[in-house]
Amino acid sequence: MSKDPAILFYTSDFITGTITMTDDQRGKYIILLCLQHQQGYLTDEDMLNICKTYDKKIYSKFIKNSDGLYYNERMKFESEKRQKYSESRSQNRKICKTYDNHMENINENEIIIVNKNRNKKGKNKKFQPPTIEEVKQYFKESGFSEDCAINAFEYYSDLDWHDKNDNPVLNWKMKMRTVWFKDEHKLQEKTDFSPLNDIINTLKK
């Protein structure tokens, strides 16, 4: 599994926690946080390369473990939380019955052909990912459940709008139709019992 390139960053907490630092200290501190996110832990050499010398305010933001490695507790917590979330989404995709490898490949081939034709005409447009509300609305209008819409949106969002073969999604509506629109995910029609209720109410009188 590749390294997650992003993490939740709480700007208000950062400003509050660094209010007494100088701009230079804040800059060094944020670089160390980014480096920890990429590496997991920081060595003495990492700390000194960034700080140049021991800086009490910056070093106080990190814990040194028994192996002599430094880490910021909040960054460690947020990184692990993000990793667990990504793993849970990956597991959900594995057990989800909506994903059809055969249709995925067919759909991607169709999209590539369409895109090549558009390139020849000079009309190819840059793909704009939909919002969750747009996906939910499209599923609703097409007669499919909101849960399925959310699963589809989160699946491609986690992959930066690429499919499992790392091919970019070029037409998200076509992708939804060919891969996710399944009979088992259609909205259940509600039976109208009002006429029957009218009869029962009449008999009760």
Please check whether residue 197 lies inside any domain of the structure.
Answer: no
Please check whether residue 91 lies inside any domain of the structure.
Answer: no
Q: Structural domain tally of the chain?
A: 2
Coarse DSSP helix, strand, coil percentages of the chain, rounded to the nearest 5 percent: 60, 5, 35
Are 79 and 103 contained in the same domain? Answer: no
Tens digits of residue pLDDT in 156-172: 888 889 887 888 988 99
Please check whether residue 29 lies inside any domain of the structure.
Answer: yes
Are 113 and 178 contained in the same domain? Answer: yes
Please check whether residue 195 lies inside any domain of the structure.
Answer: no
Report the C-alpha gap between 171 and 127 in whole angstroms: 7
Please check whether residue 6 lies inside any domain of the structure.
Answer: no
Are 24 and 79 contained in the same domain? Answer: yes
- Which of 82, 110, 61 has the alpha carbon at shortest distance from 5? 82
Count Cβ atoms below 10 Å from residue 120 Cβ, excluding itself.
9
Are 106 and 180 contained in the same domain? Answer: yes
Which residue, of 21, 51, 85, is where some domain finishes? 85
Please check whether residue 121 lies inside any domain of the structure.
Answer: yes
| Below-70 pLDDT ranges, the chain | 1-3, 90-125, 189-205
Tens digits of residue pLDDT in 39-54: 999 999 999 999 999 9
Per-residue pLDDT at 122 = 47
* Structural domain for 19, as ranges: 11-85
pTM: 0.46
- Which of 33, 74, 70, 38 has the alpha carbon at shortest distance from 54? 70
Please check whether residue 201 lies inside any domain of the structure.
Answer: no
Are 120 and 70 contained in the same domain? Answer: no
Are 115 and 156 contained in the same domain? Answer: yes
Per-residue pLDDT at 130 = 92
Strand residue runs (E) in 10-87: 63-64, 70-71
Are 115 and 181 contained in the same domain? Answer: yes
Please check whether residue 5 lies inside any domain of the structure.
Answer: no
